[in-house]
Structure 1
Amino acid sequence: MRQLKGKPKKETSRDKKERKQAMQEARRQIGTVVLPTLVVLVLLLVLFVYMATRPTNNE
């Protein structure tokens, strides 16, 4: 079927399968890359706050 100018092409089953696979890969990366990075950042923040607010012994 001829495609008209300016119109988006219809999504084929192959395109749909590729899109779903890309979304699955993105979800997998959230668990393996994003969450551990956030955990490290939060731990660094907690450590910084602890070091800044701990009592000092000036005797």
Structure 2
Amino acid sequence: MRKLKGPVKETARQKRERKQEFAKMRKQIHTIVLPTVVVIFLLICVYVYIKTRPSTMHDA
């Protein structure tokens, strides 16, 4: 038999599985990645605030 050139056609089952994986990755972005980015951003903000606030040690 002759082999056809080009990629193999995706079956309905493979397409469904691929879409499920994509949905799973999208859910992980919302449940893992975004909260992690927010926590890192807040830590940076707190660090900058602590380093730039005026000193409160006045001997008056």
For normalisation by structure 1, the TM-score amounts to 0.84
Number of residue pairs the alignment of both structures matches: 58
Q: Give % identity.
A: 47
For normalisation by structure 2, the TM-score amounts to 0.83
Shift of 1:3: 7.5
Higher relative contact order (CA 8 A, sep 6+): 1
Q: Which runs of 5+ in 2 are unaligned?
A: none
From the superposition, tell whether residues 55 and 16 of structure 1 become closer, same or farther in structure 2 (CA, over 3 Å).
same
Q: Which runs of 5+ in 1 are unaligned?
A: none
CA-atom RMSD in angstroms = 1.9
| Misfit runs of 4+, over 4 Å | none
